[in-house]
Chain A
């Protein structure tokens, strides 16, 4: 890797950085040897801020977040380079048991499938109290009390009763609230939400996003929000990281990204948002309309292990020129705090949604 001619998009350390990821690279063992699926991703999330990661299916969003959680399969994956610092500790090089101590305590994760991500055999109270007891050395009763408290916090009515219910006795949206309650039970510094709202219908989705926002503000958490859905991004994110084929291709504040995208891929994503919502996409009220998956740009993303030379998006890019195939594009700064991995980022004027 050549040295980028600009500094990576990290923010002034004076502001409170909760999670700082630098040059994260993840490889999986396949029949053809180690295949790189995440390639040098860097980002930071600040306390009280939401960073959204968007990208097509397979772009490496989940793998990135699982790497930060230390949840990648130990035998079939590796992180040959990069760091992920939380409170000055590199999570990637932490021993297994030390990572277990942080997981669920300082850095927590809420998953997509609310149906399958909760254990059907135990009450939700048990499953929440369990985290508290694990990390807070709390007595049984104390854990249970905390479970009621967080269930109440995420807006589950009659929390003191519902704590004794099993996951299948909740609706999808309520189950997702339970997931959030479980994740925030120990007041983590960083909350990762992987496609938290994908399975929900729009009204419920808006409610769950509200809960995330409230919890973030109350607890001062940094939130890493992974999604397919630009409408959700517009609703919840402060900043956005766009991933393509395992790389970050654009990162910016949310308004600037929607108004003036600098990478053709981002433009494609914005275009493939349903029309009705693109008009107001950057406003929080837009959630209601479209929830299409972002698989609507012509062509297929490249498969890990056989990445095109040069720019990885070039084969699908309507703006591609020879230079795109010849040279590997670096992240270019297009505006303050707005970067794009496109050789032509500075010369192209791309259409946003406003």
Chain B
């Protein structure tokens, strides 16, 4: 297990470097002189100079990258072009919101998808299976912001059960924190739930057709033991494998959902940065979320080793 961990960590390094190239490379994509373009059409000469200074655009490109990545490793992602604030600090302030949201969404997605996938796979061709399949197709086709609005319309505007907007920090009032997260998390988690339901249905159906499941049944094991012990652990492998992508999707989707429910998370920061063309802030957010995704992938790899002894002992 330890060897697996070390191996995965080592594999992460080149990818991390490439990601940082891509993120830093964003500045190269800015058309024309980045400083002028980023300053906007009506900027003063001083402002352009200030931007050039901030980004260190006068230095050779490699030196610029070296400075940026050197800071990033120490947690310094530069300063906002717009407010002059530290990017890292701005991100740190808003991370709890986004993490709460994405975490809750993942939890809700699994709470929906695992039972739905099992019911569908063990009732192939029956009404329960059709319901799960149709539900999953709808979940994948629905834009999250629209689903969110429908939920708000239903639970806030018409029924008045849940708050439509706002965020209460967990430390302040855990109950209110949870209540305010229900609708956003459901909105964000729906697509992940749909995708996971589909995958679990497919993989569990495959697994239940395997010879070792027949063996388990030949041993006289009860149906629930066959499905939950012999089926689920193996069926979880492909589902877990793509969990990293799911988290990436959730982090991306949270931008929309935070905007919709007025949650003060990374999403709002990113949108404001884009509208202000605040490049260091954009780079910071992208790099940060990519690192989160990579950490999740690492956890997934370890989980994979636990589920699949062949990998662990190899």
Contacts and interface: CB of A to CB of B under 8 A. Distances in A.
A and B in direct contact, judged by CB atoms within 8 A: yes
Interface of A: 69, 71, 100-105, 108-109, 111, 113, 116-122, 130-131, 134-135, 166, 168-169, 179, 182
A130 B309 contact: no
Contact of B234 (A69, A102, A109, A121): A121
23 contacts: A71-B214, A100-B220, A100-B221, A100-B222, A102-B220, A104-B221, A105-B220, A119-B230, A119-B234, A120-B234, A120-B308, A120-B310, A121-B309, A122-B229, A130-B219, A130-B225, A131-B219, A134-B221, A134-B225, A135-B220, A166-B310, A169-B313, A182-B219
B73 to A, nearest CB: 39
B212 A119 contact: yes
Given A117-B214, A120-B309, A121-B308, 6 more contacts: A102-B220, A104-B218, A104-B220, A118-B212, A119-B216, A135-B220
Given A166-B309, A166-B310, A168-B310, A120 B212 contact: yes
A116 B309 contact: no
B10 to A, nearest CB: 25
B309 A69 contact: no
Contacts, number: 75
B212 A108 contact: no
A122 B210 CA distance: 15
Given A120-B234, A134-B221, A111 B313 contact: no
B313 A116 contact: no
A101 B220 CA distance: 6
Given A119-B230, A166-B313, A168-B309, A104 B214 contact: no
A131 B313 contact: no
B211 to A, nearest CB: 4
B211 A117 contact: yes
B219 A134 contact: yes
B70 to A, nearest CB: 44
Contact of B219 (A104, A120, A121, A122): A104
Nearest to A113: B211
Interface in B190-212: 210-212
Nearest to A99: B220
B307 interface: yes
Contacts of A182: 215, 219
B234 A103 contact: no
Interface of B: 210-212, 214-222, 225, 229-230, 233-234, 307-310, 313
Contact of B233 (A105, A121, A134, A135): A121
A144 B244 CA distance: 37
Contacts of A168: 309-310
A156 B13 CA distance: 44
A109 B230 contact: no
Contacts of A121: 230, 233-234, 307-309
A252 B307 CA distance: 49
Nearest to B307: A121
Contacts of A119: 212, 215-216, 230, 234
Contacts of A116: 210-212
B256 to A, nearest CB: 38
Contact of B215 (A105, A111, A134): A111
Contacts of B222: 100, 134
Contact of B218 (A111, A120, A130): A111
Contacts of B308: 120-121
Given A120-B309, A121-B233, A121-B309, A103 B219 contact: yes
The 8 A-B pairs with the shortest beta carbon distances in the complex, nearest first, are A104-B220, A103-B220, A104-B219, A116-B211, A119-B212, A117-B211, A166-B309, A109-B218
A131 B222 CA distance: 11
A178 to B, nearest CB: 11
A122 B309 CA distance: 8
Contacts of B218: 69, 71, 103-104, 108-109, 111
A111 B214 contact: yes
Contacts of B220: 100-105, 131, 134-135
Contacts of A130: 219, 221, 225
Among A108, A111, A121, find the residue whose CB has the most chain B CB atoms closer than 10 A. A121
Contacts of B230: 119, 121-122
A121 B304 CA distance: 11
Contacts of B210: 116
Among B211, B212, B221, B230, find the residue whose CB has the most chain A CB atoms closer than 10 A. B212
Among B210, B215, B217, B307, find the residue whose CB has the most chain A CB atoms closer than 10 A. B215
Nearest to A128: B219
A169 B217 CA distance: 23
A51 B229 CA distance: 34
B216 to A, nearest CB: 7
A104 B233 CA distance: 22
Contacts of B219: 103-104, 108, 130-131, 134, 182
B217 A71 contact: yes
B214 to A, nearest CB: 7
A55 to B, nearest CB: 21
A102 B214 CA distance: 15
Contacts of A111: 211, 214-215, 218
